[in-house]
Structure 1
């Protein structure tokens, strides 16, 4: 029942994630669409991705500009100077180059902390199905009469450990409702393709599909079905006091004790 791939960040959500005013943003693993939206809104963007081809795609068809810089890099080895950004925006789970070791989450947290200016934050989101909508609850209840674990997947963001990191002690959260249009035939096919459903006898299967269609009839508006989701956004504010090599400023210059 996943339609997450068809969803995009609402303007209000993206604005909440990065703030109201144009700032310098390190976009880590963000899509081309999100990067383009940030540049269009006046932000200066340093886009970092472990894949060289994706970096090239971010710059394709765009004139050379200081508004967007694309760099190959990984979260635990950020190729940027300390305090370069007011916001680090995480576009998805950590990814590393093929053949390289897995990302060290602890080192990534420290690298992101160093990349942020005092007062800055790292931001991200995850999209989960909203099971509070009545027709979705009814469909889940029906499917679990066949399979107790049916429709249990709801996505994930992959950064839960960052939200408990000592480098980011203050967390803000906000949720946004999303709707994904979906065809009735796709939902019926999703039900029919379940392993437990395919094993039913023909009469039981027809009865189940009939009940599914009744639920969808009650949910349809203007001949369109829409799946409800919640976009769970968060901002984690940096605290440089927790760095093992503290960052400080003196006489207008950056000081990083070694």
Structure 2
């Protein structure tokens, strides 16, 4: 369970973004990684210097480091950055935001943003990303989206989003205009399955900003429904491990 965050408003975008300071432990333990093909599609050719922006606990950062790239991670949450530094000591990690990136002009070949673009003030973030990118560099944006074509996954998602007025209808709806510094936006999708324990579905739900920000009683009520789903759905009941299908949605633009 995440730390209690009684002063956060579940209907405030700023508070929701700040909620991850309270939920870093759970996030690091249960959130999924990303498929290698998606990472390859987002990156430019060669062995570039890559900025993982809003890096969180380092889910994407670890994949970039495994490719022996020159990686720098920037993240506003000290709690999340602590996890990243502990697990990836060879990666340069800095506190910063998308609107104020602590890097020089033209200093990276790619900026990747995983599961975070919707938290940014997008016009300011686009301009700042353009500043730190070299000409011809890539901006890559990626989200893991659960595949609701599977019945239990759809029911799980309905519980997670119930009452959440800030939840967009799709990843595409979250990517606004990038500005004149970037060329056309390309898109690609990658399907994959994350093998997880059924016991991890409750903490996975608890890692979401909406649930972290809810009052304790409301959060516990939704988590109890997750427990009920796991106990009763024919695809989950009496199963220790299950495949959680994802559609990874990727967006890529080149710095003009």
**Normalised TM-score (structure 2):** 0.59
The equivalences for 1:43-192 within 5 A come to 43-60=69-86, 68-93=91-116, 104-133=121-150, 160-177=174-191, 178-181=193-196, 183=198
Q: 1:120 Cα deviation (Å)? A: 0.9
Tell which deviates more after alignment, 31-40 or 110-119. 31-40
Secondary structure of the residue that 2:185 maps to in structure 1? Answer: strand
Q: Which runs of 4+ in 1 moved over 6 A?
A: 134-137
* Residue 40 of structure 2 is aligned to residue 15 of structure 1: yes
- CA 1:90 to 1:136, structure 2 compared with 1: closer, same or farther past 3 Å? closer
Structure with the greater alpha carbon radius of gyration? 1
Contact 1:109 1:162 in 2 (8 A): no
Aligned to 2:50: 25
- CA 1:62 to 1:129, structure 2 compared with 1: closer, same or farther past 3 Å? closer
Question: Structure 2: which 5+ residue stretches go unaligned?
Answer: 1-26, 206-220
Contact 2:34 2:144 in 1 (8 A): no
User: CA offsets per residue over residues 108-132 of structure 1, 9 Å max, x none?
Assistant: 1100011111111111212223234
- CA 1:91 to 1:77, structure 2 compared with 1: closer, same or farther past 3 Å? same
| RMSD over equivalenced CA pairs, Å | 4.5
Q: 1:87 Cα deviation (Å)? A: 0.5
Q: 1:48 Cα deviation (Å)? A: 0.9
Count residues in correspondence.
202
User: Comparing both chains, which one has the higher relative contact order based on Cα–Cα distances under 8 Å and sequence gaps of 6 or more?
Assistant: 2
Secondary structure of the residue that 2:51 maps to in structure 1? Answer: strand
- Structure ranking higher in helix proportion: 2
- Residues in 1 aligned to 2:75 and 2:174: alpha-carbon distance in whole angstroms: 20
- CA 1:57 to 1:169, structure 2 compared with 1: closer, same or farther past 3 Å? same
- Residues in 2 aligned to 1:34 and 1:136: alpha-carbon distance in whole angstroms: 23
- Residues in 1 aligned to 2:112 and 2:68: alpha-carbon distance in whole angstroms: 15
Aligned to 1:237: 254
- Residues in 2 aligned to 1:94 and 1:218: alpha-carbon distance in whole angstroms: 33
- CA 1:223 to 1:129, structure 2 compared with 1: closer, same or farther past 3 Å? same
**Normalised TM-score (structure 1):** 0.58
Aligned to 1:242: none
Residue from 27, 36, 42 that aligns with 2:62: 36
Secondary structure of the residue that 2:116 maps to in structure 1? Answer: coil
- CA 1:218 to 1:156, structure 2 compared with 1: closer, same or farther past 3 Å? closer
- CA 1:119 to 1:229, structure 2 compared with 1: closer, same or farther past 3 Å? same
